[in-house]
Structure 1
Amino acid sequence: MSEQIRPSFSQNAIKVLERRYLLKDEKGNLIETPENMLWRVARAVAKAEGSFGDEGSEKEWAERFFGMMARLDFLPNSPTLMNAGTSAGQLSACFVLPIGDSMEEIFDALKYTALVHKSGGGTGFNFSSLRPYGDIVKSTKGVASGPVSFMELFDHTTDVVKQGGMRRGANMGILNADHPDVVKFIKAKVEEGKLRNFNISIGVTQKFMRAILNDEDWDLINPRTKEVVDRIKALYLFDLICEMAWKTGDPGMIFLDKIEASNPTPHLGSIVATNPCGEQPLLPFESCNLGSINLSNMILSNREIDWDKLEQTTRMAVRFLDDVIEINQFPIKEIADRTKTTRKIGLGVMGWADVLFKARIPYDSEDALELARQVMCFISKIGHEESSKLAEERGPFPAWKGSKWEESGILMRNATVTTIAPTGTISLIAEVSSGIEPVFALAYKRKAFGGSASLTYVNEILLDALKEEGLYTEELIEEILTKGSLRDLDLPEDIKKVFVTAHDIVPEWHVRMQAAFQEFTDNAVSKTINLPHDASVEDVKKSFLLAYELGCKGITIFRDRCKEDQVLYVGAKQETGKESDKITVMSVVEQGYVKPKKRPPVLSGKTVKIGTSYGNLYLTLNFIDGQPFEVFATLGKSGKDTQAHTEALGRLISLALRSGIPIDEIIKQLKGIGGSTPFLEGDSLILSLPDAIARGLEKALGKLVEVQERGDMCPVCGAPLIHAEGCERCISCDYCKCD
């Protein structure tokens, strides 16, 4: 019986659950255990069974659902784990909202966005119905500000409305390739920190892709008048998309015709938008609840897939997700009505890279692609069978009549069944690889929760393989930590081919893996095509074209460390003329050497005290002519090394100030840097010594400096972020931007 199953979570998984999922009282004290949480979710979801007329089965299904989650064979999306069985009760992760061209429609959408983000969901929009910049607004005799301007409004609202725990709202912004503001949209994220709560994508069709390949002209059409207002080269537009994606990771591409071709309910409207990570195309006001099967638990000791267990898990997961719709408390009536009309669910997978490690199959191989097709084809087949069975028991989704399912003569409970979604946080809980992504590191150091120590983590499957082959040594583990990969190590080739990381794999194989899963997925596939730092714009072009050719519904690329280049762009200007229209880099100092100003004999200033985990920081900021000129920083009690670091930071800041660098820019660079021993001073959390110096400078200035979230840096612990599944995730703590 499931009552006897006890969930087995690692210590780090428990900390993730404690920080984000387990219920707390008004004072922030935990009031449930991980096991209690699973029972809360299982019992809440099983209540749906009673609503279908069999109240006696609620207990039985609650036990089954609990067992499935306790074994970590399946986990639902984060809002379900957080909110099921609570007063919040909003259980879906994905939403798409319509954007109309009137001020009333725009601000209605803004209100709905705030409500969805407050409830824990992410939102997607297509802004193509908005009239372009400079177009006429008859009611005011003025001119329109255009889609990008309104996106900034949505972006700011997302900042203001925080979601539960560490989650912030995430958005997808799409603009069709024929919109007159498309060039402005493509460049929207070149300025660092702009639209930071948005993933952006260009909506394209086969007509546009043909125009690229044939080097044809491309019409830009005013959505208000439906008239052609400009004509540019399609290839120029594509080149610009690829150049900006190379620089910043945005925009991606959404293949609208491929999405519409698999729209199960075209009689309800066309699909023109997706959720934030692109895996869930939805009609306006639709939502979808997601869940993922842990494939790592579906492989036997003989390295074969346990098809019986996979079938049982798939059937139970489909029923679970359908039940979620019944008990879901939707944020607005329009979403409730549309969701219940189509009853879309999104069953996906996690732990795929672990499966390939266990089966000793290289990720970048035809064998891996074939196994991917077999696994996803099986899940799709069984999932559709179970949805059809539920339709016979409970009735089909209300929009079934007139749908493609009716045309095929198949009764279905759910308009869609499968989705490959991001699994950032739930894969941390299950301690498996994320979604269908390759692993990002085989060994790494991770901050220990609740302490200052760093723990070394080595992939357990790799460890077992090394021990089996008699290759394991402590020295080898240190080498793997240093190199980050097996690629350049003196190891057997078969081991090196199997145990690859994301950056060992050339972009083509990333795209091919996404396409293999897409072949048997109703909705879409969330995956990031990782490119090495030295990849070219041409590599981006090849990836985009291959994704379209292989039948993907969208594509997101991310070039390693591209955001590091971005800080070099302190200003940008647009050259005129159709041929160029390129970004010109403008440096702070055009040429020559900046000589620091000399220090006068006497200066006056202000000294402040800031508490840190190393003792009190005493910081003196001196001024000349009312402007900050130099800094002295000392620690009240600390070791010699820490004091030396503090003095060094003070000297470097002084050098920067005397060289004309604005103090606000210095504060922005230091503020928010995470450390191993944060310190709570009053209501402020001092993250590290650099963070303390930044806050001391603010105190001495008598003002706060607004700091944008750092691209590529975790806002919780300051460690580097990885880009996977169309999202950002920290491998050092439990932060994930989208999940």
Structure 2
Amino acid sequence: MPAVTIPADLPVPQLNQNAKLVLSKRYLRKGPEGEPMETEQELFWRVAQAIAAQEVNYAKSSCTVEELARTFYDMMISFKFLPNSPTLMNAGTDLGQLAACFVIPVGDSMDEIFDAVKHAALIHKSGGGTGFSFSRLRPASARVGSTGGVASGPVSFMRIFNTATEQVKQGGTRRGANMGILRVDHPDILEFIRCKEREGDLNNFNISVALTEAFMQAVEADEPYDLIAPHTREVKGQLKAREVFSILVQKAWESGDPGIIFLDRINRDNPTPALGEIESTNPCGEQPLLPYEACNLGSINLALLATDTHEGVDWDELRRVVHVAVRFLDNVIDASVYPLDRITDMVRSNRKIGLGVMGFADLLYQLDIPYDSQEGLRLAEKVMDFIQTESKAASKILADERGPFPNFEGSTFAKRKQGPFRNATTTTIAPTGTLSILAGCSSGVEPLFALSFARHVMDGEKLVESNPYFEAAVKAAQCHSPKLMEEVAAKGSIAHITYIPEDIRRVYVTAMDIEPVWHLKMQAAFQKYTDNAVSKTVNLPNSAVQDDIWRIYWMAYELGCKGVTVYRDGCKAGQVLCTGDGTKADKPDERAETKVRHRPDVCYGFTQKVKTGYGDLYLTVNEVDGKPFEVFATIGKSGRSITAKAEAIGRLVSLALRSGVDVADVVGQLKGIGGENPVFQKKGLLLSVPDAVSWVLEHRYLQGKVLAEDFQSLNAPTCPECAQELVFEEGCYVCKACGFTKCG
């Protein structure tokens, strides 16, 4: 791509260090050696120009390309609005794929199944995530007419999709993300619900069960319901609805998977039912789409729209930003180069966009409104009602300028004599994990996960970062001190710090301070005025029992949500002993006994030389019964600090192996740990001494095996790229330090 020409008077983006790091790592165009080839200013101007250039397609446009490019640029560098990541990465580049999420159909034949695998690979390569419904596939053991054999079922084919995803990195920067969905009345539903029981299985999939109205009514009445073979429409058996619902609850309690979506409710809001039923969503569940549809998303930063007037929100500015953002997102549809012609046709026939928000928790902080309050819910409804109304008004203006979306005449809008509109949908509450780091605000509509936390910036050095509104509040209350901020960083919350004034403790609540029911109520408040769905996690404490999740699921159904994701704190990082109903056992401190095996007098093994940024590492691995038993790591001359650290790594890895820890778990802990002196070699990029140790162990003992990408620590999952703790919010793991997310 040619260099971007920057106007002399173009303002320079003002970025904090965290935003600079994330932009450099994930968004700036890179050269052949991975070095950035553009500045932050050039990135935003590249995007603004590419999207504004689409105005030339419309003779009735009320804007010139030059004026609009400036407007788009100013809106992005002020961080009042940001488009989804693929648009920031690819607008104005040769790749040119700007949409975040796609749904690909999976038909009941080998040709259709492997076409879907191929199409998903192309989408992942271009930077998008994919959703699939496997509900059309005949169940396991059903007869296959062409061969006389038997089918292997949906879960078996999901593993093929998972393996294919593992081999393709999105846009060369990140692994793809998938959503797998199965209808609750599919005969293989129980196998699907349990398909992620083993850690690491289907690690590139989020999974959700599509619940029907008939099933929910059967749960309520405690009745059985029919299982339907999709290829014949025959009833293949029955299950007790409450038992299936209980298993769903149990698995969500154990690990957060699967989530649930309410399929009939989603289809009642399908604006183009003549084109078919919606079967699936994108990877985080907030964007239901027809087969071969895609949607481009963007978010408004509410934190920057607070005022100190009685209004609380600058409604005039919010209206302006909404109208500019809708025009921006509609232009993205024209600017994007889609990976399949069928996707291009569907997207430009329906022109779905998804305008959402971020910074809502920060808005509440500025207005002294607790997240878990009726006042908080009222503000959520008022803000989203306003955005919904104005986005429809903006879409109507575009329809006057450019014409309605081509499928408008057969849409529910035409039948209700509404519109015409340029876009079949205009609003979605999408995840903003990485975008909110750029904007320096809270994620989506989530509460803050922590008011303050320590970020590891260099070897052994920590930088404490705090929410600016909280820090200002405690300074105004004259209770700010370095000791307080360290205590908040250690706990994340101030709920139990009694010397902080009660009014501050009431307003500055975090995700785990809030009762789960309030998480769900807030999701429902935003859903009330959102076309598509809401990306939101209902956080529960580790002590939550399965009945708590049952109530959350049922309330989501009653309050009109389109789906729900729950996450019990620590559920994927080592469990307290529990009884079958999810309550604590009588002896919570009891643990399985672990014995360290004694070393035989003679061990045989190998020594491998590995080049690292600190010099040559000599790693000796001794084996017992063909398995790694102990590790000795030597680097540099005796006495150096790095030598001591290498020896410590070897000793701890040896202790783990001799205690029966699987080598895959050891590799998962060490792989991806960053260091100051990464080096490139034939083995690839080795980030540090522990990363080099993991490389040797992985390539000696794990060839052909898929590692889980959760990289579980003893207490919480850690980022595979920077080793910081991952946070589960908006339906996905995200790293607040570097912007890594498992869901693209």
Equivalent runs, 1:153-172 vs 2, <5 Å: 153-172=160-179
1:67 CA displacement = 1.2
Tell me if the contact between 1:22 and 1:34 (Cα under 8 Å) persists in the aligned partners: yes
Q: What is the aligned partner in structure 2 of residue 715 from structure 1?
A: 720
Tell me which of 706, 711, 736 is aligned to 1:731: 736
Deviation at 1:645, TM superposition (A): 5.5
| Partner of residue 492 from structure 1, selected from 492, 498, 501 | 501
Aligned to 2:372: 364
Q: Do the aligned residues in 1 keep the contact of 2:253 with 2:568 (CA within 8 Å)?
A: yes
1:475 aligns with 2:483: yes
AA matched with 1:435: G
- Which of 35, 49, 52 pairs up with 1:46? 52
> 438, 459, 464: which is aligned to 2:472?
464
- Sort the Cα spacing of 1:686 and 1:314 in 2 relative to 1 into closer, same or farther, 3 A: same
Matched, 1:507 2:516: yes
Which whole-Å deviations, capped at 9, do the CAs of 1:373-414 have from their partners, x for residues lacking one?
000000111110111111111111111112111122221111
> Partner amino acid for 1:564?
A
- Verify the 8 A CA contact 1:487 1:504 in the aligned structure 2: yes
Q: Match of 2:671?
A: 672
1:354 aligns with 2:362: yes
Q: Does 1:8 align with 2:14?
A: yes
Pick the aligned partner of 2:126 from 119, 123, 130.
119
1:333-732 equivalent positions in 2, closer than 5 A: 333-409=341-417, 410-448=419-457, 453-490=461-498, 491-565=500-574, 594=595, 596-597=597-598, 599-600=600-601, 602-612=602-612, 616-623=616-623, 628-637=628-637, 646-654=646-654, 661=660, 664-665=663-664, 667-672=666-671, 674-677=673-676, 679-680=678-679, 682-683=681-682, 684-697=684-697, 707-711=707-711, 712-732=717-737
Residues 447, 676 of structure 1: 8 Å contact kept: no
Q: 1:623 to 1:328 in 2, by over 3 A?
A: closer
Provide the C-alpha distance between the structure 2 equivalents of 1:280 and 1:591, rounded to a whole number of angstroms. Answer: 43
What CA distance in whole angstroms lies between the structure 1 residues aligned with 2:699 and 2:547? 48
Q: Is the partner of 2:464 in helix, strand or coil? A: strand
**Cα offset for 1:219?**
1.1
Distance 2:698 2:209 in 1: 41
Say whether residues 1:286 and 2:293 are aligned partners.
Answer: yes
Q: For residues 184 and 311 of structure 1, do their structure 2 counterparts lie closer, same or farther at Cα, with a shift above 3 Å needed?
A: same
Q: Does 1:76 align with 2:76?
A: no
Q: Determine the structure 2 residue equivalent to 1:575.
A: none
Q: Offset of 1:607 from its aligned partner?
A: 3.1
User: For residues 205 and 576 of structure 2, what CA distance do their matches in structure 1 show?
Assistant: 19
The residue aligned with 2:210 is 203
1:566 is displaced (CA, Å) by: 7.3
Pair 1:701–1:202, CA change in 2 (3 A): closer
- 1:46 offset after TM fit, Å? 1.0
- How much has 1:591 moved relative to structure 2? 8.4
Distance 1:624 1:279 in 2: 50
Q: Which runs of 5+ in 1 are unaligned?
A: 570-578, 581-589
**Paired residues of 1:531 and 1:560 also in contact (CA < 8 A):** yes
Query: Partners of 1:123 and 1:592 in 2: how far apart?
Result: 43
Q: Is contact 1:452–1:677 with CA below 8 Å preserved after alignment?
A: no
Q: How does 1:177-216 map to 2 (within 5 A)?
A: 177-216=184-223
Seen in structure 2, the aligned counterparts of structure 1 residues 626 and 167 have a Cα distance that, compared at 3 Å, is: closer
Amino acid at match of 1:314: V
Could you tell me how far apart the structure 2 residues matched to 1:639 and 1:505 are? 50
CA 1:275–1:681 in 2, change beyond 3 Å: closer, same or farther? closer
Q: Is the 8 A contact 2:672 2:721 kept in 1?
A: no
Q: Which SS does the other structure have where 1:229 is aligned?
A: strand
1:584 is aligned to none
Shift of 1:152: 0.8
Larger deviation, residues 714-723 vs 341-350 = 714-723
1:140-199 CA deviation, whole Å, 9 max, x = no partner? 111000001111111111111111253221111110000000000000111111111111
Tell me the secondary structure at the aligned position of residue 50 of structure 2. Answer: helix
Kindly provide the CA deviation profile for residues 291-323 of structure 1, in whole angstroms up to 9, marking residues without a partner as x. 111111111244710001000000110111111
Instruction: Tell me the equivalent position of 2:587.
Output: none
What letter is aligned with 1:632?
F
Cα distance in structure 1, aligned partners of 2:309 and 2:338:
45
Following superposition, the deviation at residue 719 of structure 1 comes to: 2.1
Partners of 1:246 and 1:617 in 2: CA distance: 43
Q: Which residue of 2 aligns with 1:576?
A: none
Q: Is the 8 A contact 2:664 2:702 kept in 1?
A: no
Q: Distance in 1 between matches of 2:627 and 2:535?
A: 50
SS at match of 1:606: strand
**Alpha-carbon distance between aligned partners in 2 of 1:326 and 1:681, rounded to the nearest angstrom:** 39
Q: Tell me which residue corresponds to 2:41.
A: 35
Q: Judge conservation of contact 2:325–2:355 (CA < 8 Å) in 1.
A: yes
Letter in 1 for 2:113: I
1:105 aligned partner: 112
CA offsets 1:189-217 (integer angstroms, 9 cap, x no match): 11111111111101012211111111111
Deviations 1:536-576 (A, max 9, x none): 1111111111111100001111111111137999xxxxxxx
1:222 aligns with 2:229: yes
Give me the whole-angstrom Cα distance separating, in 2, the residues matched to 1:628 and 1:7.
51
Q: How far apart, in 2, do the equivalents of 1:673 and 1:331 lie?
A: 31
Deviates more, 1:103-112 or 1:666-675: 666-675
User: 2:588 — aligned with what?
Assistant: none
Return the offset for 1:126: 1.0
Residue type of the partner of 2:222? Answer: D
> How many residues matched?
718
Preserved contact between residue 607 and residue 700 of structure 1 (Cα < 8 Å):
no
Q: Which amino acid aligns with 2:348?
A: K
2:321 to 285, 296, 313: 313
Name the amino acid aligned to 2:430: A
Cα offset, 1:66, TM superposition = 1.1
1:5 Cα offset (Å): 3.7
Amino acid at match of 1:445: A
Out of 613-622 and 245-254, give the one that drifted further.
613-622
TM-fit CA distance, 1:657:
5.1
Percent identity of paired positions between Structure 1 and Structure 2: 50
Q: Deviations over 1:306-359 (max 9, x none)?
A: 001000000110111111111221111101111111111100001011101111
Instruction: Letter of the 1:30 partner, please give it.
Output: P
Q: Report the TM-score when normalising by structure 2.
A: 0.91
Instruction: Give the aligned partner of residue 4 of structure 2.
Output: none
Amino acid at match of 1:138: G
1:224/1:62 CA distance change after superposition, 3 Å = same
